[in-house]
Amino acid sequence: MQSVSLLCYFVKLLVRLFVAMFNFNRLYSAYGWFRRTLCFFWRFTKRIFNPICEYLLLRIPWRKDTGSKGELGVNAEDRPTERRFSDQDEESHRPEGQHEAACRERAADSHRELTCKPPRFEEDGDDFDGDEYRVEPTDELYCGYDSTWETEEPQRGKVTRTKRPAAYNYMFNRFENAAKDMQNYRHDYPSPVRQQRRNQISDTKPNLQFYLGMTCSVPDDVSIGSFHTDWYGQYNSLESVHSYIQWLFPLQEPGMNYEATTLTKEEITEFCQSDTAKANLVKSYKLMLDFYGIELCDEETGEVKRASNWRDRFNNLNSRLHNNLRITRILKCLGTLGYRHYQAPLVRFFLEETLVRGQLPDVKISVLNYFVFAVLDKRERRSLIKFAYVRYDRKEEFIWCPKKIQMIWSQQGMEGRKEACELDLNRVSRSQDEENEAETA
């Protein structure tokens, strides 16, 4: 009897599971609850262990040759005793006649030290078209899903993959997985994407009608005009609601909102020909930029800068990582619906904030894995990668372009430093000659 009752219990359980599989709303709610729970535990774990890791990292005496910002300098007590006396002590033992000459010498040394620092590369002046930029699949950091450095576009569906040491690099594997998605986007989705559960009739063009103000979003039931007026500055709603982003920035690939529909080729063509739809897209872009603490300076060029509320919004952006997915969607949408020239300025902004100003540390990997490679213009994309490489602290860990390209840029940096030092030495020599001529005169 016990075995029969146990069997009946398992049969009932299987029936319930079978019924639950067809109850999509409940299944979707369970998935959302599970996702929110994982995000909560991830943020909780990060807040607990990040300070501990930072403390341990600061306690490690990094070597000078690692190129890290955390490297420790040499204390004055550790220097040789014969070098401990100060400049003032040296001045007290120097004859009066040599005082001005010593001052000029120290000024020249200081100026020489400043000018010999690594100069900024002029990324925009590099054409990247020489034979030296051709990369072979045997390169250590060659990524078969990234056509950034290929002179000719690869055939659709044809990907060259070889086993190299980078295959065992966790960061490179993450980049390669991201590159597959971004390559599919840049080549107009040659590989099929997963289908939406609720496909509407494509003839209705729901995305275009929404942007023309004829229909409202689903399930929020908000028009495009209401989004721009009522939702602007409503940061709590923009953060917590997840169903609007696919309506404001539609793509040819689905997202989490199954009530939204993917873009069609017909919609893209008509959207790019409609001044009303394109003007509304710029307003949607400004709305989300304000949410992230960014301001659109020039609607012609797409140049952006920090907004007045950037500190508070950066804190939110750095702690709510799902916004990285939203920004990737925004960049893709801009490239699809006629604003591809807006992509590079926004990515350049994020590179400066993460690599130069040290802001948004939890956004940096998404910037390098996704944001950069969403830029459709290949020349702009190459320039952004070079900008990132030059300003990346640990260059031995840079995996976002082939090793051959990195060696070329390193050589250019060495030549630039050498030229700067030579120019400064010539300048100092000319100034000394002028001083000597003035004294003899």
Q: Which residue has the tokens 């120290």?
A: 106
178: phi then psi, degrees, rounded to nearest 5: -70, -40
- The torsion region of residue 205 among left (phi > 0), alpha (psi -120 to 50) and beta comes to left
pLDDT (0 to 100) of residue 92: 43
CA distance 214 to 202: 16
How crowded is the C-beta side of 129, counted as CA atoms within 13 Å?
A: 4
List the one residue out of 133, 145, 171, 177 whose CA is nearest residue 396.
Answer: 171
Q: Assess whether the previous peptide bond of 192 is cis (omega < 30° from 0).
A: no
For the stretch 366-414, pLDDT in tens is 999 999 999 999 999 999 999 999 999 999 899 999 998 999 888 877 6
Amino acid type, 341? H
- The pTM for the full model equals 0.67
The tokens describing 78, both together, are: 């550790």
For the stretch 265-320, pLDDT in tens is 999 999 999 999 999 999 999 999 999 999 999 999 999 999 999 999 999 999 99
pLDDT (0 to 100) of residue 400: 94
Q: Are 370 and 329 contacting, i.e. CB atoms less than 8 angstroms apart?
A: no
CA distance 135 to 378: 15
DSSP class of 200: P
Q: Which residue has the tokens 């320039």?
A: 383
Burial label for 270, CB within 10 Å (0-12, 13-18, 19+), is middle
DSSP class of 356: I
The residues facing 296 across adjacent strands are 304
pLDDT (0 to 100) of residue 54: 54
Distance between start and end Cα atoms, the chain: 121
Low-confidence stretches of the chain (pLDDT < 70) are 1-13, 17-33, 35-36, 39-44, 46-132, 151-168, 194-203, 414-441
CA distance 218 to 210: 10
The tokens describing 195, both together, are: 């289908």
The angle at the Cα of 211, spanning 218 to 314, to the nearest 5 degrees, equals 80
pLDDT (0 to 100) of residue 435: 65
- Three-class SS of residue 304? strand
The angle at the Cα of 332, spanning 136 to 35, to the nearest 5 degrees, equals 100
Pure H helices in 337-402: 343-351, 364-366, 378-391
- Three-class SS of residue 271? helix
308-335 in b/e burial notation, b at 16+ Cβ within 10 A?
Answer: ebbeebbeebeeeeebbebbbbbbbbbb
Q: Which residue has the tokens 């100060």?
A: 86
CA distance 357 to 339: 27
397-435 in b/e burial notation, b at 16+ Cβ within 10 A?
Answer: ebbbbbbbbbebbeeebeeeeeebeeebeeebeeeeeee
